[in-house]
Amino acid sequence: MSGLLHPVLSNADLLGLFAHFLVLSLLAIGGAITTAPDMHRYVVDEHHWISDAQFSASIAIAQAAPGPNVLFVAVIGWNVAGPIGAVATMAGTLLPSTALTLLATRWGQRRRDTRFVRAFKTGLTPLTIGLLVATGWVLARPYVAVDARGLGAIALIAVSVALMLRTRISPMWLVALGAAAGALGWA
C-alpha cells in the first residue's frame, strides 16, 4: 500500500476486483449486501487493501445516505482504489445482475403461476435470511469485543433485533440510536 489516500492497484488487481464483484453479483440473492462477507474476505482478509473498520464504515456510510442500497459497493471500491475502484466494483456488481434480472423477470412473469416458479421463490427465503445474518455478523465483528463498549454493542444489536421483530418502528430510529450510543462511547 502506498502513502496515498488510496492504494495504487495494478491493472491486473483492478481487473481482479472487477471480476470478483462480477461473480458476486451473480450470487447476490437478496441484494448485494448478502455478499458483503465475501467482499470483506476479498478486500480485507485476502488483499489487505482496507481494514475491518474501513469496510464496516464503508457500508455504514452508504446505508445512512439516501439512495439505492447497493451504493455501499461504490464506497468500498472508492476506499480500495479511489474513483477507478468505485467504477470497477459498481460495474462488476451492476452489469451481470441487471442483465440476468431483466431476463429472469421477463421469463418468470410469463410463468408466474407454475409450480416451479412458486417453489423457487419460496425456497429463496431461508437462503436470503441466512446471507443477511452472515452479513450482520461480519459488520458487527469489529465492534463486539469483550469490554464495556463490546457489551454495549451486543446490547444495541439485541435491542435492534427485538424492536425490528416486534414493532413497526422505522430502522432510521435504530440507526439514530446506534449513532447516539457510539457518540456517547457506549458501543
**Helices 115-140 & 148-166 angle (0-180, nearest 10):** 150
Residue 139 CA to residue 128 CA, distance in Å, equals 17
156 part of a folded domain: no
Contact between 58 and 75 under an 8 Å Cβ cutoff? The reply is yes
185 part of a folded domain: no
20 part of a folded domain: yes
pLDDT (0 to 100) of residue 7: 67
| Count of the separate structural domains present in the chain | 1
72 part of a folded domain: yes
44 part of a folded domain: yes
Range of the domain at 107: 11-122
Tens digit of pLDDT for each residue in 61-119?
888 888 888 999 999 999 999 999 999 999 999 999 889 889 988 998 999 899 998 89
27 part of a folded domain: yes
- In angstroms, what CA-CA distances link 123 with 1, 35, 39, 116? 43, 18, 24, 10
pTM of the model: 0.62
33 part of a folded domain: yes
Give the model's confidence band at 3: pLDDT under 50 very low, under 70 low, under 90 confident, else very high.
Answer: very low
DSSP letter at 111 equals T
